[in-house]
Structure formats: C-alpha cells, structure tokens
Amino acid sequence: MAAQFPRADASAWCRPLFEGTLLSLLVCDPVSQEILDANDGALQQLGCTRAGLLGKHLPDLYDDDGGAGRLSADACRLHAQVCLIAGVGDIVRHAILQCCAINYDGRDAVLVVLQDVTRHVEAEGQLRDIQNELHRAQALALIGNWIWDAASDEHVTSSPEGYRILGFRPDETPVSTAEIYARIHPDDRALAESARERALTDPDYKYDIEFRLVRPDGDVRWLHSVAEVRRDATGRVVKMLGLVQDVTERRRAEDNVRRLAYYDTVTGLPNMNLFEREVDDRLVQLRRGGGRGRGQARLACLIVDLVRFRDVNYALTHLYGDVLLALVADRLAGVVGQAGVVARGDARFPIVLDGADEDEARRWAQNILRALEAPFAIAGISYEIGARVGIALAPLQGLDYHTLLRKADIALYQAAGMARNVAVYVAEDDPHTPDRLSLIGDFRAAIEAGQIQLFCQPKVTMGGGEIVGVEALVRWVHPDKGCIGPETFMPLIESTDLIHVLTQHMLASAVAQCEAWRAQGVRMPIAVNLSARDIAALSLSEHLRDLLEQHGACAGLIGLEMTESSLMQNPAESIAELERLSAMGFRLYIDDFGTGYSSLSYLSRLPVDVIKIDHGFTMQMIDDRRAAAIVKSTVHLAHDLGMGVVAEGVSNARIWDALHALGCDEAQGFYVAAPMPAAQLLDWARGSPYRLAAEHACA
C-alpha cells in the first residue's frame, strides 16, 4: 500500500518544522486514516487535546450533517479538497485538505494540511447571493448588461436577463456585431449603427437610444440601451460597456396614453388636440412660403357638421349615436385619404386639405356631401343624415389655427343662414368680429346711457294713402362709431339674455312714444319685434300688462311682430301666449312670412291679425315669376283667413303698383320712407304725401 504514494525524502521530515508552523498539520495512516500525530495549530483549530485527537480517524472530523462525506483510503493522494470540519464548540468550518505521502518514524504515512477557508467560502457565498439578487433585480427591471470587445468585434454578457432581452442563449455567446444588428428592426437599424459609430468617434457623445429588436420567434420588442466607451492610454477604443432594458410595455403604455390624448376613442380619428398640431405644422410651412402635398403654399380648413345627428342620440341613445359617428368617420376618411387630415370634435368633423384653393375646397365639400348621402344602417333603421360644410382658406383668411377654425365655424353659420349646404367664409357677413364683440360688452351700459334708440318706419294703406302705423326699429347711436344698425349686434345678443333686456327696452320706448304722440293729438300704432327667446320666456303678457298700467297706455296701439319660425319652436305654448296677448287687445303680426316652415294648420289656429310678406319676395316679384306667385298666394291666403297683409321692401313705384293690383292692404319700404328717429316721425308725416289720422279713442 505504501508504494502507492510518492515517497518523501526522509530528511525532509523535520519535527521542528512540524511543530513550529502556523499551519494545521495532521499525520494519518494511509490505510485506516487513523490520526497518528497533530501539531499545535491543528489542536487549536479543532479545539482538541492531543490525547483526545490521537487515535481518531480523519473521517471522524468531517461534519456529516454538512454532507462532506468520508474519504476513502485511496483518496489520500496529493490533492486539494474543501471539506466541512467540526471545530470548537461544534462550529462547522470550511477547510481545504491537502495531502501528501511522507515517511513517519520509518513507516508510510500521509501528511494532511488543514487550511481554514471559512471566511473565503462565506465571502464567495455572499458574492453569489449579491450576484443572484442583481440577476433577480435585473429580471424585475428587464435590464441586462453587455460588453462589446473592439478587438474581436463581439458582444458578451454575464447577465441572464441580457441573454433573454437580446434573444440569445448563454451557449450562443459571444455574439458578433453583425448578428446583433441582423435582429434590429430594419426601420431602426440605421439609427443604431449611426449611434454606435458616433459613440466610437466622438468622446463627448452619450450613447442612449431606443430601437426595436425582432426575436427569433418573431416577437418585436422595444429596447433602450445606454453605453460607455472605454479607451486605452492612447485614446484607442478598447470596449463598450452597456446596459439594455426591455421597454416594450412602457412604449405600449405611452402609445396608449398618446392614443387617448390625441385620438378619438369612438372613431379612431385624430381628436382636436392632434388636429391643432397638424394644422399648426402646415401653417408654419405656409408662413415660410412652402406647402405640403403638391407644394402650393395654401390649405383649406373645412368643418363638416351633422345637422340631424342629435335625433339619433335622442331616439336611439348615445350608444347608437357613437355607431353613427364611426360610420361617418369611415366615409370621410375614405374620401379625404392622403390629401389631408380628418378629425372629430363632437358631432363635427374638421378637415385640413393640403394645397387646396377655394374651388378645390368646394369640390372636396361636394364630394363629402355625396359620400354622406347614402343612408346609414343604425339599429336596423336606414337613416339619412344631413350635413353642412363651412370652409376657411389659408393664407387668404388667416395663418393661425384658431382663426381658421373660427372662420370655418362662422362659414357654417353663414351656410345655415343662407339655407345652403356649403359656404366659404365671407368677412362682410361675419357678425362675430372683435369690434362687434366689444360692442356687446357695452350693450347694457349703452341702454342705460340712452344710446339704444327707437327708430320708426311708416306703414301706409295702399288704397287710401293713410299712415296707419309704424314698425319700431332699433339703432345704436354710439358716441364714437355713429349710428350702428341691428345687423351688427343682433346676431350676437339674440343668443344671450341681453335680448330680453333689449325687448323690454324697446317695448317701454314704444309705449312711451305712443303716449307722447297721443299727447300731440295723433293716434299712431307702433309694432315691436319679438324674438323666439322672448316668446319662449312666456312672461310677455304679464310684463306688457304692467307696462300698460305704468304708462296708462292702450293695448290697441301696440303691435307685436313675430316670425313664423319662432312661433313653430313650441307651437302649443306659443298659441296659448298669443291668445292671452290678443285677449288683452294687442295687434299681432307674423313677420317675414314665407321664409319659415310653419304649418298651415297652425297658422289657421293662431290669433294673428296681419301677415307681413318678407322683403325678399316683394323686391324680386317684378323680375321673378315664382316670387310674384308667392306674393299673390300669400295675399289671397291672408284675406281668406280674415287677416290683413303688409308688404315689406316696397322700394319703387313698380312694386307698389303690382302689390296694389294684387289687393295688398299696406306697404312698408324705402318707397314710402326710410327708417327715422321716432321724434322726427310727425314732422316727416306732415310733409309727406300721405294722410296722418287724427286721435280717437282706443279700447
């Protein structure tokens, strides 16, 4: 058995060295592994006395619970092995056993060196724990590290997460730069290559990019990579140290947030936020003298308004309203295509068209209207929706987003007013200019200051030429701007409560003026215009009763003019209110007859005394056969219903004669007299060719 071990020179065995070394030394039998001798270092490390240690066998020192196992006899060769040794106080320590064959007192033996490496093992364990924690943290953060070696042009990583992110297996590294770049999405490859080359050549450049990587299974992931370039003393690039993070979920969340911020969830179209950015980008180019699309330095802004959209919401709920909006959006997007951008704002669809002038914008608008003509299938119902298009042009009508959108919106208003489906913004017809808006802010104060004044336009009988009354008209006599007509401020105040303030002022002025004329011995009826909102307020009769009592006036001298469309907004309540007013003695007129959509059945029920033919028909009746037919039928209809007829817009003798021949009762217009301040009416009347009736009692 002794021949199996390499012989140590007997002269190498030196007792003083054995005893004096700080190493822990044991001498064991090579076959039985019985401990034959031990030095003080071993006794101190193992916490044993010499008597207690000698006679034991080497495997008796192993900690079985630690799983070290026992050494077989033939394992005692020259080698190194870490074992768990039971030390002082049952403390288990890690030790390296180094063995070599020696001659001990003339017999074969094995010298065992016990080297305590507990601290090293614990440090290695802590390092492994830290590394595992780092790997877990990287996995949670989806971050891996990578190293690029300049000499080999290869990438390596010590991070399992790095392997996963890049889509490689650990046994596939190192990976060449070409293999990495082959997996980068084709659309991002140039970006990644450019960033890498710049990082290698520009020491001040910070490598920080995001790109897409296509994994072998086809999954596309967004990666964020940062790196630092290392150079040697000569400045030559040696390596790049980098981190790579999978930011796919973050990018998806950002895309979702962007969709919510910039896209309409119902139609998928850009919302008004994104539309504003798109228009602004184009306007910046226009201001620089360039354009998109075909290169023209111009564009058109359109607003498509669905005029009967709310009927679907009210009849079928908003759920089906959203379905209709999505269907409309599909058709509009199909029409516009790449020629511009379609967006959605409520029941309106703003559109910007690149390079379109007025003629092209009108053609696009007609194409859009044709696309919306076909019925939409909603909840089993075939529904046809009406639409209007307002158009504003850049740079002709503005070079900023809000101005263009406002003017396209005004064009919609103008289209509705002209009963058209398409209109291009016309500045002259815009009632919403800043100057006019500033007037509205001063309107209430202007009433208190006496600037809102009563003007009158006379009405005369066509048979006898007698002045039978006047229509009350409003004028704003502004201290700086002069006399301002109602067309300037009425479109704005009609939608506000100021219309009630104006109506009350005009009624009070009219009643007071009637009483002033009566004091001069003249009976002059005066008619005041009422708006739809005045009638809807349903307090006219009470207000007028108080007003008459205040002035001691007669209701028979006050006329109330209302348009047929205003009466039809709420026919039942309007009829009830008109019956109360009629019973009080007020004379009732339907103004601008023929321009609304009233029902003849309602007309026959209205307690109306007079129908006024709109000036649009009377002024055209000489040259337009259809207008003449409408005037004729209106005169006959009114007389058949027991009503009088007043023709507005009588501007010349030919119209006067034609109306007189038709049997029209009264005329009003510039042929008779232009509107004038109420205080000047009697002076005009006394010098006119018409007769002024004398005062007599009224009910």
- Please tell me the predicted confidence (pLDDT) of residue 698: 47
pLDDT greater than 60 at residue 389: yes
| Residue 665 CA: distances (Å) to CA of 140, 502, 526, 662, 671 | 92, 30, 17, 9, 16
CATH code for 436-684?
3.20.20.450
Q: Do 301 and 350 form a contact (C-beta atoms < 8 A)?
A: yes
Q: For residues 114 and 22, give the distance between their C-alpha atoms in angstroms, rounded to a whole number.
A: 11
Among the residue ranges 30-39, 116-125, 365-374, 385-394, the one predicted with the least confidence is 116-125
CATH code for 133-252?
3.30.450.20
What would the 3-class secondary structure string for 107-153 be?
A: EEEEEEEEEECHHHHHHHHHHHHHHHHHHHHHHHHCEEEEEEECCCC
* Closest of 545, 559, 383 to residue 468, by C-alpha: 559
Per-residue pLDDT tens over the stretch 584-606:
999 999 887 765 545 566 667 78
Q: For residues 42 and 112, give the distance between their C-alpha atoms in angstroms, rounded to a whole number.
A: 10
Helix 498-519 with 486-493: angle, nearest 10 deg: 130
Confidence of residue 165 (pLDDT cuts 50, 70, 90): confident
Residues of the chain with CATH 3.30.450.20: 2-116, 133-252
- Please tell me the predicted confidence (pLDDT) of residue 320: 83
Instruction: Give the rounded percent of residues in the chain with a pLDDT score beyond 70.
Output: 87
pLDDT greater than 60 at residue 695: no
- Please tell me the predicted confidence (pLDDT) of residue 9: 45
Rounded mean pLDDT, 180-192? 92
pLDDT greater than 60 at residue 269: yes
- Please tell me the predicted confidence (pLDDT) of residue 161: 77
Question: Widest CA span of the chain, in angstroms?
Answer: 165
Q: Between these two residues, 258 and 527, which has the higher pLDDT value? A: 527
- Phi and psi (nearest 5°) for 560? -125, 120
Rounded mean pLDDT, 64-82? 42
- Please tell me the predicted confidence (pLDDT) of residue 86: 67
Strands 376-378, 340-342: pairing is unpaired
- Domain 263-430 fold is Alpha-Beta Plaits (3.30.70)
Q: Between these two residues, 5 and 633, which has the higher pLDDT value? A: 633
Residues of the chain with CATH 3.30.70.270: 263-430
Instruction: Give the rounded percent of residues in the chain with a pLDDT score beyond 90.
Output: 41
Q: CATH classification of 2-116 is 3.90.25.10, yes or no?
A: no
Per-residue pLDDT tens over the stretch 231-261:
998 889 999 988 888 888 888 888 888 888 8
Per-residue pLDDT tens over the stretch 530-550:
887 777 665 788 888 888 888
3-state secondary structure of 436: helix
- Please tell me the predicted confidence (pLDDT) of residue 536: 65
The position carrying tokens 């910007």 is 352
- Phi and psi (nearest 5°) for 619? -70, -20
Q: Do 634 and 614 form a contact (C-beta atoms < 8 A)?
A: no
- Phi and psi (nearest 5°) for 44? -65, -45
